[in-house]
Amino acid sequence: MKLFDVYPLYDVTPVSAKGIVVTDDKGQEYLDFYGGHAVISIGHAHPLYVKRLKDQLDKIGFYSNAVHNPLQVELATKLGKLSGCSDYNLFLCNSGAEANENALKMASFQTGKSRVIAFNNSFHGRTSAAVATTDNEKINAPINKQQKVTFLPFNNITAFANEIVKGDVCAVILESIQGVGGLDEPSSEFFKKVEKLCKDHNVFLIADEVQSGFGRSGKFFAFQHHGIKPDIITIAKGMGNGFPVGGVLIHESIKASYGQLGTTFGGNHLACVATLAVLEVLEKEGLMENTKELGDYFLEKAKEIPQLKRTKGKGLMLGLEFDFEVAELRKKLIYEQHIFTGGASDKNVLRILPALNITKTDMDLFFEKLKIALS
């Protein structure tokens, strides 16, 4: 059997990784400014994370959601406390798409409506409802196009109000900072007006924090920069530092009923300890503070790059926008300078998504190498 060939691959084979350094099968080291797509939040092979997972594996790795799992309760309590969202309840699943799928389903169950408002350049995942709210025709199959979704631009409150008053909308879904789309974000004013219109029209506001959550923006959730309160928040990526885990935070005013949501693997023992370890490291090592400080440092250093058009994003969810397409630059950075970076659907944006415990020395090295690659 061969692999189903859907991924265009860079010619690199990582075999080990520690902190911010990834090593390939030839012994070449790479600086990881991509975090495997914003997944590595506390660094590769963090000792506390590795120990917690190994210890748990020796006890019990999995049992189904038909029995008690106290680790889920511990996780919900700790997550509520650290994120400032204790007034939400947690549903655990396995990925970002699944988190958004369940969030959209909850909104539809609760309101009895089915149309969704999403935003231009959005990315919410590849499952049925999630991909329908993703602004990319190419990854929507005819089966996905049955969903009723309206795409709007950020920051146009008139267009938004004109849609929501029609009365058939169950949910508004948005990334507080767009990931794949290229780091655009709505203004605080727009966020607040959207929140109010959602309340007025019995529409659920879903904040997709799959990429921007778990401290990456310098606050636990990126929507917290705007002083709003979504009805539902979705999480994944940095949550498990590489262990596949996702979650849906559902405001406690929304009542659960048996069987409405469910999953075989979601919330398993290993996923819980992986996430608990991430939370413990975030807290103990002050990683949200580091993210803010290092994000500011990065933006300051970026001023030394004359070819740069502008910087985008917050914390360590950053973009460098050039006035040329960055595909070749990314290749140079990988093959010649040995640095991983990310691309975006905006082809002129280089995405920077390192682990949240990155240091100034790592960043200085990045800029030295970026300057060489650009020369």
Nearest CB to ligand PLP, comparing residues 135 and 208: 208
- Give, as ranges, the residues between 248 and 267 that touch ligand PLP (CB under 6 A): none
174 is an interface residue for ligand PLP by CB under 6 A: no
Angle subtended at Cα 149 by Cα 134 and Cα 260, rounded to the nearest 5 degrees: 90
User: What is the residue whose two structure tokens read 């084979």?
Assistant: 13
Q: Closest separation between CB of residue 235 and ligand PLP, Å? A: 10
How far is Cα 125 from Cα 177, in angstroms, rounded to an integer?
Answer: 15
Residue type, 123: F
Going by their DSSP bridges, the two strands 339-340 and 29-32 should be labelled as parallel
How far is Cα 27 from Cα 201, in angstroms, rounded to an integer?
Answer: 58
154 is an interface residue for ligand PLP by CB under 6 A: no
Question: Of 88, 123, 154, 160, which one interacts with ligand PLP (CB under 6 A)?
Answer: 123
Listed ranges 19-27, 117-125, 329-337, 352-360: which one lies at the site for ligand PLP (CB under 6 A) = 117-125
Residues in contact with ligand PLP, total (CB under 6 A)?
A: 14
How far is Cα 86 from Cα 108, in angstroms, rounded to an integer?
Answer: 24
Question: Of 35, 36, 96, 319, which one interacts with ligand PLP (CB under 6 A)?
Answer: 96
Instruction: Mention every residue, 6+ apart, whose C-beta is less than 8 A from residue 262.
Output: 65
What x-and-dash track marks residues 328-357 binding ligand PLP by CB under 6 A? ------------------------------
135 is an interface residue for ligand PLP by CB under 6 A: no
177 is an interface residue for ligand PLP by CB under 6 A: no
How far is Cα 78 from Cα 293, in angstroms, rounded to an integer?
Answer: 24
101 is an interface residue for ligand PLP by CB under 6 A: no
Listed ranges 9-17, 40-48, 92-100, 363-371: which one lies at the site for ligand PLP (CB under 6 A) = 92-100
Instruction: Mention every residue, 6+ apart, whose C-beta is less than 8 A from residue 136.
Output: 123, 345
Question: Of 35, 36, 43, 179, which one interacts with ligand PLP (CB under 6 A)?
Answer: 179
Listed ranges 2-10, 68-76, 95-103, 287-295: which one lies at the site for ligand PLP (CB under 6 A) = 95-103
Question: Of 56, 72, 95, 217, which one interacts with ligand PLP (CB under 6 A)?
Answer: 95
Nearest CB to ligand PLP, comparing residues 94 and 290: 94
How far is Cα 20 from Cα 32, in angstroms, rounded to an integer?
Answer: 5
Q: How many C-beta neighbours within 10 Å does residue 345 have?
A: 15
Instruction: Mention every residue, 6+ apart, whose C-beta is less than 8 A from residue 308.
Output: 302, 320, 321, 322
How far is Cα 152 from Cα 117, in angstroms, rounded to an integer?
Answer: 7
Nearest CB to ligand PLP, comparing residues 194 and 363: 194
CB 176 within 8 A of CB 226: yes
Binding stretches for ligand PLP (CB under 6 A): 95-97, 100, 123-125, 175, 179-180, 208, 210-211, 236
